[in-house]
């Protein structure tokens, strides 16, 4: 399983499949995902762009001004996904239901807003 640290440089509204429109403030986000097979290919897809939008995260990463800053291979074990994901609870803000369609562990979402961009920094 892996975590993506994502920079959202300016606020975006994204139509994310069945979730509808999701608003993102500028800031840093952390996404936790897994790929039972083909982890390398999955991460490459996230970093360089997906041709077809399939997962929720694809929709966010397809936006201009949104990029993957860091990839962390958090565990070799895909089953750790939710346990690692929930480390965000209490310190970060969950994006409700984002990336957690197939989550059975009750995570609020698999994407967290980790840090809001400070006002006035890197504007434009």
What part of residues 72-111 is at the interface with Zn ion (CB under 5 A)?
Answer: 82, 103, 105, 107
1 interacts with Zn ion by CB under 5 A? no
Quote the least distance from Cβ 110 to Zn ion, whole Å. 6
Distance CA(124)–CA(118), nearest Å, equals 13
R_g of the chain, CA atoms, integer Å = 14
Q: Which is nearer to Zn ion, 76 or 102 (CB)?
A: 102
Count of residues in contact with Zn ion, rule CB under 5 A: 4
Q: 10-49: which residues touch Zn ion (CB under 5 A)?
A: none
Buried b (16+ CB within 10 A) or exposed e, 78-109: eeebbebbbebeeebbbbebbbbeebeeebbb
Q: Which residues bind Zn ion (CB under 5 A)?
A: 82, 103, 105, 107
């Amino acid at each position: 399983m892996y975590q993506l640290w994502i920079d959202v440089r300016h606020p975006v509204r994204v139509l994310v499949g069945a979730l509808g429109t999701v608003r993102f403030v500028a800031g840093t986000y952390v996404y936790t995902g897994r790929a039972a097979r083909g982890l390398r290919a999955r991460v490459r897809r996230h970093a360089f762009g997906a041709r077809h939008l399939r997962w929720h995260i694809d929709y966010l990463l397809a936006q201009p001004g949104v990029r993957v800053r860091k990839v962390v291979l958090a565990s070799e074990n895909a089953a750790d996904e939710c346990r690692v994901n929930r480390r965000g609870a209490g310190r970060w803000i969950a994006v409700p239901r984002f990336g957690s369609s197939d989550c059975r562990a009750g995570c609020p979402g698999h994407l967290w807003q980790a840090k809001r961009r400070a006002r006035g920094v890197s504007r434009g």
